[in-house]
Structure 1
Amino acid sequence: MGFTLEKHMCTLLGLMVLFPAFCTSQFSDSRATYYGSPDCYGTPRGACGFGEYGRTINDGYVSGVSKLYTNGSGCGACYQVRCKNPQYCNSDGVNVVVTDHGEGDRTDFIMSPRAYSKLALPSATKELFACGVVEVEYRRISCQYSGCNVMYKVHEHSKYPDYLALIVIYVAGQNDVTAVEIWQEDCKEWIPMRRAFGAVWDMANPPSGSVTLRFQATGNAGYTYWVQSTNAIPQDWKAGAAYDSAVQLT
């Protein structure tokens, strides 16, 4: 059965909880800034194609990135970012989810105002925003979703049954989705989907009937493997609906 993401409950109202990886990675130096947002959350028009999911996931602690975008495979990745100005910034920083692409003044992170404010000491938020751009250090961390499997959201631009576009969301661990394939029963073979943009994968004239998918995950050490969903998307799939894969990564 399909359902909208607004109705999907993962625990804690569908918010993501991020934890540093057990294998501690080294921090890299960079710079961070923020973009305008009327409610301080993310934007549904991000380059990853996440829509409303990309605005509110992780309680709106989200960011656009530049080189870390890597042609869309960096969408959904999780990072710990710490400001290096002890006068204004706390020592923990903020854990963000990549939902967009953006470039600023030699910055790797362009954060939602909500995420940017999380860098600051409680008494120095205004001062940090006045800086505009700050020196930071960052590292990749694992994404952990409480009560969630990997989900397939059917993009709103999909047109049943002639055009199917999917977004793979709630991917845990330090994994990038680098390929998606559909099983074609009559030919007994896997057919690759095209990365349309960001995290959106599409196919014109998809196979009829229920849709069985597998996706390629690349882990933090560069190890690549295929994961096949144990739940198929029903043959009467609908644009905007999300379907449970019944699998999750670590």
Structure 2
Amino acid sequence: MYRVISPLAIADGACGYKNLYSQGYGLETAALSTALFNNGSACGSCYEIQCVNSKWCKPGHNTIKITATNFCPPNYTKTVDIWCNPPQKHFDLSLKMFLTIAEYKAGIVPVQFRRVPCVRKGGLKFLLQGTQGWYLVLVFNVGGVGNVADVKIKPSNSQNWMQMTRNWGQNWQFTKNLIGQSLSFQVTTSDGKMVQSDNVVPANWQFGQIFEGRKNF
């Protein structure tokens, strides 16, 4: 049995999603405790959650489906209300999601949960950030299992796929001058499936732009 608390502040969050609305996540989100967040590798994963064994559960056995978009940090200075401390498996929900399954006055309720596939519209999306020579790419709108485990990049002047490394959340970094080149990506999710987006970023790209591939998981 696990626990969930509301509300969650809607912000960039520890996964790097800049705007939950414009990026398609809305309020159907949660911050995960340390035990679930796994240093950011769980970002983008989806869960179905149900309130159980509490008088505050809404009638009808309602369930919600959420995407992991943030981190609920532990607080080791407290001895009570330490839901986000290890080894607790805890979800910090938006108020809208919490009220779907439980009464507001409860604040915290026991829940059961399971991983579910993420259903996304359109293809994988890539937000380009950084500076010349240092690139930070946010990978989002990921279907299937939702959480990205590996990203490779290929500029148009190369025949080789080059390894990117996780900077934080779902932001992946690469250090090389890629100005004036079209970019392709190979995105692999935690279940080992890979989607290749060829020339998804045109040669005249600029920092701050978002590009959408044709495929998803």
TM bin, normalised by shorter chain, reads 0.7 to 0.9
1:49 maps to 16
Q: Give, in whole Å, the separation in 2 of the partners of 1:187 and 1:97.
A: 35
- Where 1:114 maps in the other structure, the secondary structure is helix
For residues 165-204 of structure 1, the C-alpha deviation after alignment (integer angstroms, 9 at most, x for no partner) is 1111111122421111111555532111121101111112
1:116 maps to 98
Q: Give, in whole Å, the separation in 1 of the partners of 2:113 and 2:8.
A: 22
- Where 1:100 maps in the other structure, the secondary structure is strand
Within the alignment, does 1:141 sit opposite 2:113 as a pair?
Answer: no
Within the alignment, does 1:35 sit opposite 2:7 as a pair?
Answer: yes
For residues 153 and 185 of structure 1, do their structure 2 counterparts lie closer, same or farther at Cα, with a shift above 3 Å needed?
closer
**Matched length:** 201
2:46 maps to 78
Which residues of 2 match residues 114-193 of structure 1 at below 5 A? 114-120=96-102, 128-146=103-121, 148-155=122-129, 158-159=130-131, 161-184=132-155, 186=157, 188-193=159-164
For residues 111 and 55 of structure 1, do their structure 2 counterparts lie closer, same or farther at Cα, with a shift above 3 Å needed?
farther
The structure in which a higher percent of residues are strand is 2
Q: Give, in whole Å, the separation in 1 of the partners of 2:23 and 2:185.
A: 26
Give yes or no for contact 1:54–1:99 (8 Å, CA) kept in 2.
Answer: no
- Where 1:229 maps in the other structure, the secondary structure is strand
Pick the aligned partner of 1:101 from 63, 71, 76: 71
- Where 2:201 maps in the other structure, the secondary structure is coil
Give yes or no for contact 1:231–1:244 (8 Å, CA) kept in 2.
Answer: no
- Where 1:134 maps in the other structure, the secondary structure is strand
Give yes or no for contact 1:47–1:101 (8 Å, CA) kept in 2.
Answer: yes
Displacement of 1:45 after TM fit? Answer: 2.7
- The amino acid across from 1:30 in the alignment is Y
Q: TM-score, normalised by structure 2?
A: 0.82
Uncovered stretches (5+) of structure 2, i.e. residues with no partner: 75-81
- The amino acid across from 1:52 in the alignment is N
The structure in which a higher percent of residues are helix is 1
For residues 217-250 of structure 1, the C-alpha deviation after alignment (integer angstroms, 9 at most, x for no partner) is 222xxxx13321034312232232210111111x
1:12 maps to none
Uncovered stretches (5+) of structure 1, i.e. residues with no partner: 1-28, 38-42, 121-127
- The amino acid across from 1:243 in the alignment is F
- Runs of 4+ in structure 1 over 3 Å off: 54-59, 184-187
1:242 maps to 210
Q: Give, in whole Å, the separation in 2 of the partners of 1:178 and 1:171.
A: 12
Structure 1 window deviating more from structure 2 (182-191 vs 107-116): it is: 182-191
Displacement of 1:97 after TM fit? Answer: 0.9
Give yes or no for contact 1:44–1:54 (8 Å, CA) kept in 2.
Answer: no
1:228 maps to 196
Percent of matched pairs sharing the same residue? 23
Within the alignment, does 1:92 sit opposite 2:62 as a pair?
Answer: yes
